[in-house]
Amino acid sequence: MVKVTLNGTVLADSDKTVQVEGNHYFPPESVNTAALTPSSTHTTCPWKGVASYYDGTIGGKTVVNDVAWYYPETKEAANNIKGYVAFYKNKVKFE
């Protein structure tokens, strides 16, 4: 089981993460979307596709910008993480 918290709030909790390049990607149903707000940030990975980002939002206030990312659409090689959410290790606590 892998759990991610931010200031004591659980952002994600799952035993079905997929590890890619040292990052745990959480299935969408295991993510606390109430604590995440879509960010305007987008980046491109040559083999995964275009990533979208979330800000960490607690109590209606953004606490950490771009705390997590996901690929709403993926290139074929990354289909196993389509829609899954990963978190920056230096911005959250992993348990």
pLDDT of residue 19: 98
pLDDT of residue 1: 94
- Residue 28 to residues 16, 46, 61, 73, Cα–Cα distance (Å): 11, 23, 22, 14
Q: What is the pLDDT of residue 65?
A: 98
pTM (predicted TM-score): 0.96
Phi, psi of 35 (to 5 degrees): -100, 10
Q: For 31-47, write each residue's pLDDT tens digit.
A: 999 999 999 999 999 99
Rounded mean pLDDT for each run of 10 residues along the chain, 95 residues in total: 97 98 98 97 98 96 97 98 98 97
Amino acid 33: pLDDT = 96
